[in-house]
Amino acid sequence: MQYRELKVPGAWEFTPRQFGDDRGVFLEWFKEPGFSELTGRTLELQQANCSVSAAGVLRGVHYADVPPGQAKYVTCVTGAVLDVAVDLRVGSPTYGVWDAVLLDDVDRRAIFLTEGLGHAFLSLEDDSTVVYLCSTGYAPEREHGVHPLDPEIGIDWPKTGRDGNPLSFQLSAKDSDAPSLATALADGILPSFADGPTAG
C-alpha cells in the first residue's frame, strides 16, 4: 500500500497494490495495522455506506459536529469520482484549504478524512459507485453542509466527465441550499480544530 498525506492535515490518500490475472483483480483496500501506524489512530467502524451516482452528480460538502464527528474511509469500486477533503475546522492552520483525489476503478485508491473535515465528490461517469466506512453512524441532528460551489472555497471541479463529455452539475435540494463557508462560520456551526483528533 502506498500513501500520501494531502494538503489538509488529517486527510490521506491510499493506493493499494493490485494482483491481477486472467480471472480479474484482487486488492486490499483497507488494512490494519498499517492504517493506524500511518495515521496514529484506529478507525472504529459504526456504519458502511454505498452511493451510486450519475455523471455530474455533486454531493457535499458534508460534515458532522465535533465531537464526536465522523471519520470516513472512502473508495470508488465502479466508475470514477473526484473526491475532495475541505478543512472546515475553525482555528486550523489550513482552514478553508481543500485537496482532491481521483477515485476510480483503475488505480482503486482510497481517501481517509478525519473528524471535522468536509467531504464532497463529483461523479465523472454514470453509475459511479462509492463505498465508505464511517467511524460513527448517521445522525441528522449533527449533520451539516457547506455549498460545494462556494467561490471562497474555490474547488476546481472538472467540467468534463470520464468520457470527455461536458458535465452538468446535479445537486440535491439540501446541498443547493447549503450555506457558504462565511455564513456557516458566522452562524457558529463549523467544527473547532481544538476539538478534533489532530489538534495539538
The pLDDT assigned to 198 comes to 62
Count of structural domains within the chain: 1
132 noted as active-site residue: yes
What is the separation of C-alpha 120 from the centre of its chain, rounded to a whole number of angstroms?
5
**197: in domain:** no
The pLDDT assigned to 200 comes to 39
Burial class (CB in 10 A: 0-12, 13-18, 19+), 97: middle
- Catalytic residue, chosen from 63, 132, 144, 147, is 132
Query: Residues in the chain with pLDDT < 50?
Result: 199-200
Residues 6 or more apart whose CB falls under 8 angstroms from that of 155 comprise 84, 86, 98, 100, 120, 148, 149
What's the CATH number where 123 sits?
A: 2.60.120.10
**53: in domain:** yes
**198: in domain:** no
**199: in domain:** no
**87: in domain:** yes
Give the pLDDT confidence of 41-62 residue by residue, as tens digits. Answer: 999 999 999 999 999 999 999 9
The pLDDT assigned to 196 comes to 83
Q: How many CB atoms lie within 10 A of CB 194?
A: 12
**200: in domain:** no
What is the rounded distance in angstroms from the CA atom of residue 137 to the CA atom of residue 10? 20
* pTM score, whole prediction: 0.95
**167: in domain:** yes
- Catalytic residue, chosen from 62, 119, 144, 147, is 62
3 noted as active-site residue: no
